[in-house]
A and B are shown apart, each in its own frame.
Chain A
Amino acid sequence: SQPLAGGQAAELQSKVVPSKQILHSNNMEMEPETMETKSVTDYFSKLHMGSLVYSCTSKRKNK
């Protein structure tokens, strides 16, 4: 025998009705990390290139 009385069927159905339990997306969208940067260029241009660049540009200006 199949015990499918109306009330029981409704109750069983509610168990699988999605509003009772859904797979909710918990996917938060985070902002990117910020990394600190060092550069060979910065250092080089400050300490070595400074005079070089100057002499190059002044040479170019002279031409």
Chain B
Amino acid sequence: RMEASCLELALEGERLCKAGDCRAGVSFFEAAVQVGTEDLRTLSAIYSQLGNAYFYLHEYAKALEYHHHDLTLARTIGDLLGEAKASGNLGNTLKVLGNFEEAIVCCQRHLDISRELNDKVGEARALYNLGNVYHSKGKNVANAGTHDPGELPDDVKNALQKAAKYYEENLSIVTELGDRAAQGRAFGNLGNTHYLLGNFRSAVLAHEQRLLIAKEFGDRSAERRAYSNLGNAYIFLGEFETAAEYYRRTLQLARQLKDRAVEAQACYSLGNTYTLLQDYEKAIDYHLKHLVIAQELHDKIGEGRACWSLGNAYTALGNHDQAIHFAERHLEISREVGDRSGELTARLNLSDLQMVLGLSYSTNNSMMAESHAVENTLNGGRPRGRRYSMENMELMKLTPEKVPNWN
């Protein structure tokens, strides 16, 4: 009777998770664990699903705990396929938690067992996971500095090249298996890896394939992702008109999908692209749209960034009143969110603007001295606060004159 009860609870948990309600699913799975079962395979399946549910709920410590239980159990009962699956899931979770070395060991175990069992599907999935771990590892190290794509230290480059290798191995298997959905995923992440490596032409080729497959499936989220990634690559190819076209399509889909954060991101990208095209009126138009959504979503960092961009665009148009208004707003917000880099930039912008307008700034020596002190503390790492923005955007130098040389 108790056995049936555990099973019933677990079945309800499965049903709820499949229906997309992971939170409720977790309650049922945890109740099932409470009741308990003598059947270790059933328990393994419950642990595995609990781990995945917590993963999708972004509660990674819990996900780690349950996937670890599952792995132990699978080993205990000598379930090799179960061990492979648990290892893969544990690897994915460790990756998200930033423990790349252990993640690699786990994903490699998933790969080894899949090969041992001659499980092609498992092998392909393990290769994709390994690619993802190396991609994250590379990106994580790269983010510690402020590198542009294509300008990378050796360890970052090595990790990204490994990622590309695993994605390509995955692609050759899933192509053989005729799994188009898996091909789409691999092309997308391969494209992003090439982008980080500075292989922008290869990135475009991969994202074009991703786009094709997204359209085949009518997967509009994937289609939007591809447009956005294509836009990013064309920026670095110096083809700003093409980039603008892809960002416009991103915006169109973001609106259709009613995703305000993504819509804001697309507006911001368009604002920057029109800035590069020196069409400042259009740039202002999009940065204002971005500003409105950032305010709506209470995204202070995004709002600060919009003000900064608007200040610059108005300066370029010679509209110094508006420029000062937004520079002041940028300074205010930077202080509010504790963005020291933004604060420094805003101060410099304001003093430049004041000088252009012929206002006295010579009494502000102390302010300038303070700015330099801020600058010195910034050399070490990323300013706090930036990484929490909805857009996850980086402060980076982008000099258009330089772009053609990056090919």
Is the pair A27, B391 in contact by a Cβ cutoff of 8 Å?
yes
CA distance A29 to B195 in the complex (A): 11
When distances are taken between beta carbons in the complex, the residues of chain B under 8 Å from A42 are: 45
Is the pair A38, B85 in contact by a Cβ cutoff of 8 Å?
yes
When distances are taken between beta carbons in the complex, the residues of chain B under 8 Å from A44 are: 7, 11, 42
Interface positions of B from 229 to 265, Cβ below 8 Å from A? 229, 232, 235, 265
Interface of B is mostly: helix
In the complex, whether B315 has a CB less than 8 A from a CB of chain A is yes
When distances are taken between beta carbons in the complex, the residues of chain A under 8 Å from B400 are: 19
When distances are taken between beta carbons in the complex, the residues of chain B under 8 Å from A2 are: 358, 360
In the complex, whether B55 has a CB less than 8 A from a CB of chain A is yes
B356 to chain A, nearest CB (A): 6
Known contacts A12-B352, A16-B352, A23 near B308 by CB under 8 Å: yes
Chain A contact residue count (CB 8 A cutoff):
35
In the complex, whether B108 has a CB less than 8 A from a CB of chain A is no
Selecting from B181-189, B291-299, B368-376, the interface stretch reads B181-189
Is the pair B315, A37 in contact by a Cβ cutoff of 8 Å?
no
Chain B contact residue count (CB 8 A cutoff):
82
Is the pair A28, B316 in contact by a Cβ cutoff of 8 Å?
no
Is the pair B48, A38 in contact by a Cβ cutoff of 8 Å?
yes
Known contacts A12-B352, A29-B225, A38-B85, A24 near B393 by CB under 8 Å: yes
Interface positions of A from 1 to 32, Cβ below 8 Å from B? 2, 4, 9, 12-13, 15-32
Is the pair B225, A31 in contact by a Cβ cutoff of 8 Å?
yes
When distances are taken between beta carbons in the complex, the residues of chain A under 8 Å from B334 are: none
Is the pair B52, A34 in contact by a Cβ cutoff of 8 Å?
no
In the complex, whether A41 has a CB less than 8 A from a CB of chain B is yes
Question: Per-position contact with B for A29-63: 1 when CB-CB < 8 Å, else 0?
Answer: 11111111111111110000000000000000000
Is the pair A23, B356 in contact by a Cβ cutoff of 8 Å?
no
Is the pair B189, A12 in contact by a Cβ cutoff of 8 Å?
no
Is the pair B88, A36 in contact by a Cβ cutoff of 8 Å?
yes
Residues of chain A whose beta carbon lies under 8 Å from any beta carbon of chain B: 2, 4, 9, 12-13, 15-44
Given contacts A31-B210, A40-B14, 12 further A-B contacts (CB under 8 A): A16-B323, A17-B312, A18-B313, A19-B278, A22-B272, A29-B224, A30-B188, A31-B185, A33-B132, A34-B129, A36-B86, A38-B44
A/B interface sample: 15 pairs, CB < 8 A: A2-B360, A12-B356, A15-B348, A22-B309, A23-B308, A23-B309, A24-B272, A24-B398, A25-B272, A26-B232, A27-B265, A31-B184, A34-B129, A36-B84, A36-B122
